[in-house]
Amino acid sequence: MENNLKTNQKSTAFSILVKIPQMLKLLHFSLQYIWNYKPLYVIFAIGTSVIMAIQSNITVQMNKYIIDNLTASKYDMAMIFVAIMVSIGLIEELIDIILRYQNQKWSEELTVFKEEKLIEMISKMPLLERENPAFLGNMQVWSLGMSKLEATFQITAQSVKSLFTAAISLFLIIQSDYLFAVIILLFSLFRGMVVYRVIDPLVNFNLEMARKYNISEYFSSLLKRKDAQKEFLLSDATAYFKSKWMRAKKDVLNLTLGAAKVNLVPSITSVILTFFSKLIILFLIIYLTQKGSMTIGDYVSISLAAFLADRSIINYLLDIKGLVENLRYVEEYHKVAVPIPALHVNASKRFELKMSIKVKNLSFYYPNSTTAALKGINFKIKQGEKVAIIGDNAAGKSTLTKILLGLYESPSKTVFYDDVDINDLDKASIWKRCGAIFQDFMKYKMSVRDNITIGNNASNDNDLYSLLRSLKLLDLYHLHQHLDTPLGDFDRNSVELSGGQWQKVALARLLLRDFEILVLDEPTAALDPQSEVEIFNNILSLTKNKTVIIISHRVGISSKVDRIIHMKSGEIKEQGSHKELLHAKGDYYQMWIQQKEWYES
Ligand SMILES: Nc1ncnc2c1ncn2[C@@H]1O[C@H](COP(=O)(O)OP(=O)(O)OP(=O)(O)O)[C@@H](O)[C@H]1O
């Protein structure tokens, strides 16, 4: 793998030239991003880079004047130049301290700004995008790309400084002898060619690393999780998972070292080239001084300016290399950041359910899957009806409800609310009027109150108290801080709940809201049989005029609803009332008999 990454694409001068327009576009995108965040940050950074570049060259010139005055025994003048040079040094250091503080402040604030943008981007993304198995790895790459936006800007500011320093020093050197400038430029060109060759392999190593990092992090977090630990202990699996983590970690380590190795040869070559360019220039200056065509002051100023130019050019080349490398990561981010996938949140029509929900010939595939999760589904649910969707595992029940709720985009003209295609509906207006509990409902590590109200302060403590009572959750109210007791394992004062209690908290959260449609995916799976019956009756009485869709494996629940939709392998097998389906003596009848016998025996 390492060799593949290394040899696959070496950057040639031509490949770099071809990429210039794209690179400029990405550079513009990065700088625009920082400019949008704070224009002053950009102005400040570029401005100070130019000032620093001028200052370095002034110091070099001052050295020449000091030495020339000393050799001419003009000590007063030498002292004046010394005072000017030291004062400039002092000003530079003071500016540097303020600049570093200011940069750190803006940089910290920018980190928050970037995280906010990433959260915004992810929360706007269609849920289906996240079902793609590549999503987590991609997200790692996007955050890497995002972190490179600021790095790109910093390097740009730095490169302005290097470029200005090099240009001024070369200009001063040319005043003495253009030959020095030619030698410096020639060696720099060689070094540039050496370092550019490794950009692509380096980027490939790092992108691959970002993806692999995800796997090692997954196993690392598994090994630290409480719920996983009990399974590991009982099945003696700790060593197995540790070896999985170690293998993934080694992959990451190999990629890190691979990237470092790729850098090794150009770094060594660059140092050797610097050695020769220094040697040649210094020998040449000594030769010219010996011939009498240069003063000692000239020797000092030219050698310093030559080193300054040499260092600045190599810095500039490294900056450009860094820039090109960074822009490759930015490119990955840019791919998703610019066209944020549409969520149809702002479609023109508003959700209403006065008549019915209709599903017509609905088939559905998950991304990266060629097997249909739903095949030719047709049904109608009238407003106010209570419907149970039952079926085996992987029958497509959860997928269907997510489509009905608009969480997954459905093919057009397949799902209708009051005869309006769901794709023409404003999604936010659907979500405002629909409530759902899924199998993987959230257990928020927050207080009882916050878990139930989610920041909605409209309900007073009495409402919450009677809701807890109706769900037999009063023991939560009696906790040490009543409704303000933190739940979960967040801090010292937190209280951990049982699986069934958590499920009741999720139900309480749902029942506190006003909704038109309620979707319950296995709502009573974690409840004891008595609570199951009580809570189910409770839900039915609380939702008299509302449309309720319940997913369950248990036929006991389905005997209480108006209609049953029985699914198998992504298709509807039967639908009708409990009595009708028993009468039909099909699969539902068989399930009913089996479960009945199970309980009776
Ligand atoms: N994120 C996903 N990516 C690809 N396929 C998926 C994804 N989620 C579910 N599926 C597939 O879609 C099909 C239907 O799954 P779904 O979760 O809707 O079934 P279900 O009837 O709710 O099952 P269960 O009763 O086990 O919860 C299954 O074959 C499953 O493998």
Minimum CA distance residue for ligand 1 atom 28: 394
pLDDT tens digits for range 181-225: 888 888 887 877 777 777 778 878 887 887 788 788 889 998 988
The pLDDT of residue 253 is: 92
Residue 177 pLDDT class (50, 70, 90 cuts): confident
Which whole-number Å values give the CA distances from 507 to 160, 310, 500, in the listed order? 59, 70, 11
Tell me which of 398, 440, 522, 566 to substitute to probe ligand 1's pocket, judged by most ligand atoms within 8 Å of the beta carbon.
398
Average pLDDT, the chain: 83
Q: Does residue 394 line the site of ligand 1, with CB under 6 A?
A: yes
The yes-or-no verdict on residue 17 having pLDDT over 80 is no
116, HSE (Cβ side, Cα atoms, 13 Å): 7
Minimum CA distance residue for ligand 1 atom 11: 373
The pLDDT of residue 1 is: 46
136 vs 601 pLDDT, higher one: 136
Read off the tokens for 481: 């801080």
Q: Does residue 398 line the site of ligand 1, with CB under 6 A?
A: yes
The yes-or-no verdict on residue 18 having pLDDT over 80 is no
The pLDDT of residue 374 is: 96
The yes-or-no verdict on residue 300 having pLDDT over 70 is yes
The pLDDT of residue 5 is: 46
Contacts 24+ apart (CB under 8 A), 455-461: 456/512, 459/512
The pLDDT of residue 383 is: 94
Percent of the chain with pLDDT strictly greater than 90? 17
The yes-or-no verdict on residue 511 having pLDDT over 70 is yes
Q: Does residue 373 line the site of ligand 1, with CB under 6 A?
A: yes
Q: 376 CA to middle of ligand 1, Å?
A: 16
| CA 422 to centroid of chain Cα atoms | 29
Tell me which of 127, 131, 132, 399 to substitute to probe ligand 1's pocket, judged by most ligand atoms within 8 Å of the beta carbon.
399
Residue 396 pLDDT class (50, 70, 90 cuts): very high
Which residues are CB-contacts of 217 (< 8 A; sequence separation ≥ 6)?
none
Q: Which of 164-173, 203-212, 356-365, 527-536 has the lowest mean pLDDT?
A: 527-536
**In which order are the strands placed within the sheet that holds 547-552?**
434-437, 517-521, 547-552, 386-391, 563-568, 571-576
Q: Does residue 135 line the site of ligand 1, with CB under 6 A?
A: no
Report the pLDDT averaged over residues 548-554: 86
Read off the tokens for 275: 């050695």
Report the pLDDT averaged over residues 358-366: 95
Partnered with residue 386 across adjacent β-strands are 548
Minimum CA distance residue for ligand 1 atom 7: 366
Q: Does residue 399 line the site of ligand 1, with CB under 6 A?
A: yes
Minimum CA distance residue for ligand 1 atom 6: 366
Residue 343 pLDDT class (50, 70, 90 cuts): low
Q: Does residue 566 line the site of ligand 1, with CB under 6 A?
A: no
Report the pLDDT averaged over residues 484-490: 84
Tell me which of 132, 135, 136, 366 to substitute to probe ligand 1's pocket, judged by most ligand atoms within 8 Å of the beta carbon.
366
SS3 state of residue 19: helix
Q: 143 CA to middle of ligand 1, Å?
A: 29
Q: 127 CA to middle of ligand 1, Å?
A: 14
Closest ligand 1 atom to the C-alpha of 400? 18
| CA 258 to centroid of chain Cα atoms | 25
Q: 373 CA to middle of ligand 1, Å?
A: 7
The pLDDT of residue 345 is: 54
Domains in the chain: boundaries: 2-337, 356-440+520-600
Q: 266 CA to middle of ligand 1, Å?
A: 51
Minimum CA distance residue for ligand 1 atom 17: 398
Which of the given ranges, 222-226, 328-332, 469-473, has the highest pLDDT on average? 222-226
Q: Which of 20-24, 169-173, 352-356, 524-528 has the lowest mean pLDDT?
A: 524-528
Percent of the chain with pLDDT strictly greater than 70? 94
SS3 state of residue 571: strand
Residue 347 pLDDT class (50, 70, 90 cuts): low
Whole-angstrom distance, CA of residue 450 vs CA of residue 485: 10
592 vs 134 pLDDT, higher one: 592
The pLDDT of residue 381 is: 95
Q: 399 CA to middle of ligand 1, Å?
A: 6
Residue type, 153: F
Q: 282 CA to middle of ligand 1, Å?
A: 74
525 vs 248 pLDDT, higher one: 248
Q: 437 CA to middle of ligand 1, Å?
A: 16
Q: 389 CA to middle of ligand 1, Å?
A: 14
The pLDDT of residue 64 is: 83
Q: Does residue 366 line the site of ligand 1, with CB under 6 A?
A: yes
What is the model's pTM?
A: 0.70
Q: 439 CA to middle of ligand 1, Å?
A: 12
Report the pLDDT averaged over residues 443-454: 89
Structural contact between residues 281 and 159, judged by C-beta atoms closer than 8 angstroms = no
CATH architecture observed for domain 2-337: Up-down Bundle (1.20)
- Domain 356-440+520-600: give its CATH code: 3.40.50.300
Q: Does residue 395 line the site of ligand 1, with CB under 6 A?
A: yes
Residue 48 pLDDT class (50, 70, 90 cuts): confident
The yes-or-no verdict on residue 367 having pLDDT over 80 is yes
Report the pLDDT averaged over residues 112-119: 84
The pLDDT of residue 2 is: 45
Q: 371 CA to middle of ligand 1, Å?
A: 11
The pLDDT of residue 403 is: 94
Minimum CA distance residue for ligand 1 atom 23: 394
Closest ligand 1 atom to the C-alpha of 368? 4
pLDDT tens digits for range 235-284: 788 898 999 999 999 999 998 898 888 888 888 888 888 888 888 888 88
The pLDDT of residue 336 is: 63
Minimum CA distance residue for ligand 1 atom 31: 394
Domains 2-337 and 356-440+520-600 share a fold: no
The yes-or-no verdict on residue 23 having pLDDT over 60 is yes
Residue 7 pLDDT class (50, 70, 90 cuts): very low
Which of the given ranges, 283-297, 329-343, 446-460, has the highest pLDDT on average? 446-460
Report the pLDDT averaged over residues 68-92: 88
Q: 390 CA to middle of ligand 1, Å?
A: 14
Tell me which residue of 514, 551, 492 sits closest to 435, measured CA to CA.
514
Report the pLDDT averaged over residues 332-350: 62
Residue 577 pLDDT class (50, 70, 90 cuts): very high
Residue 524 pLDDT class (50, 70, 90 cuts): low
Tell me which of 135, 362, 365, 397 to substitute to probe ligand 1's pocket, judged by most ligand atoms within 8 Å of the beta carbon.
397
Residue 13 pLDDT class (50, 70, 90 cuts): low
